[in-house]
Homo-oligomer: A and B are copies of this chain.
């Protein structure tokens, strides 16, 4: 599919064509690596990825053998588990050399640690730039730190559909900006930021960068190395398929590690941890960015989730995502545009991650009607239907059937029977 894809000549919108695309899909064998418990059409692998078939047995090994049988004799394998699996995630997903990634805490806590570390590295600067439509937890962490440290928070006025571009960042940079906090793929629209150019602009102005990779890691190539990006964080339960609340990861470029101070000093970030010294001395390398005892079952899930990604390769996965979102866009243009839907994501596949967002004034009602038909999308405020395509687990058949269901629902007004207001807590 070319960069500026118009519907190809003779595009075929029939179900057989979707099946033919599946038959030709080089990623098709990986669907056998995951659990499909029923006929649900799951267009939300970018919110919670599917369960890999190998994960239950792997967890049973950790629970039954390492915990149940070996008990504390498993400590030698646990003490370096967070950095060992971090290294693997770094190589297979983030494209960086060993010694720069660790599995730790949640994305929120990792943001907190690294934003503070970045501010300490630029003590004369008092401003953080952040996209106003960054994921809420990124905004909240920045707001809390800004309040506590008396830092100014400047919000980049990005378009919620097109995301952030280098000129918007460049215009806001100044010699007071310590740090730029951005998502690589926007959680709402799927817009893919130009990490290389934006990082270069930030560095030019003497600022550091922190990239949130939650919605990009495992779906597109991450140019951390090419960008010489400073810091990054991400979760593992979306395209990395590690399960609900599995631990997150953080990346710190090697040359920054020894200068960086992270604020939550715990026994896992201590040099000679089992020396039990009464005075803190920060460990070298990525261990410095750990805190308390890591979640061992969660790290095992992360490791297991990496198997399919490592086998397929991130290049092939990225290509699969572009084809899936491209195909969904064709169907949306053909079937849903007449029903008052519009593609809200950037239209060029190379300008987005692996999800496609549709605008519709009754998006919340449509979302509820879809779920009632066992088609699972995500609603995004204020009026967006977010369709996530996980290249390893979503088939063209699922895309066809999912969009066909939306068409059926809206054609007959089935969604109008559902509430227009979402409950305050869902």
Stretch at the interface among A9-17, A140-148, A224-232, A397-405: A140-148
A51 touches B72 (CB 8 A): no
Q: List 11 A-B contacts (CB under 8 A).
A: A37-B68, A38-B69, A47-B72, A56-B63, A106-B293, A132-B278, A137-B267, A139-B278, A244-B297, A245-B293, A297-B298
Residues of A280-323 at the interface with B, using a CB-CB cut-off of 8 Å, are 280, 291-299, 301
Q: Which of B51, B264, B301 contacts A108 (CB 8 A)?
A: B264
Is the C-beta of A195 less than 8 angstroms from some C-beta in chain B?
A: no
B73 touches A371 (CB 8 A): yes
Residues of A27-80 at the interface with B, using a CB-CB cut-off of 8 Å, are 35, 37-38, 40, 42, 44, 47-48, 50-51, 55-56, 59-60, 62-64, 66-69, 71-76, 78-79
How many copies of the polypeptide does the oligomer hold? 2
A274 closest partner in B (C-beta): B426
Interface string of A90-134 (1 = CB under 8 A from B): 000000000000000111110010000000000000000000110
Is the C-beta of A349 less than 8 angstroms from some C-beta in chain B?
A: no
A277 closest partner in B (C-beta): B136
Considering the chains assembled together, what is the distance between the CA atoms of A237 and B277 in angstroms?
A: 22
B295 touches A295 (CB 8 A): yes
Stretch at the interface among A173-181, A350-358, A373-381: A373-381
Is the C-beta of A270 less than 8 angstroms from some C-beta in chain B?
A: yes
For the complex formed, measure the closest distance between the CB of A195 and the CB atoms of chain B, giving whole angstroms: 23
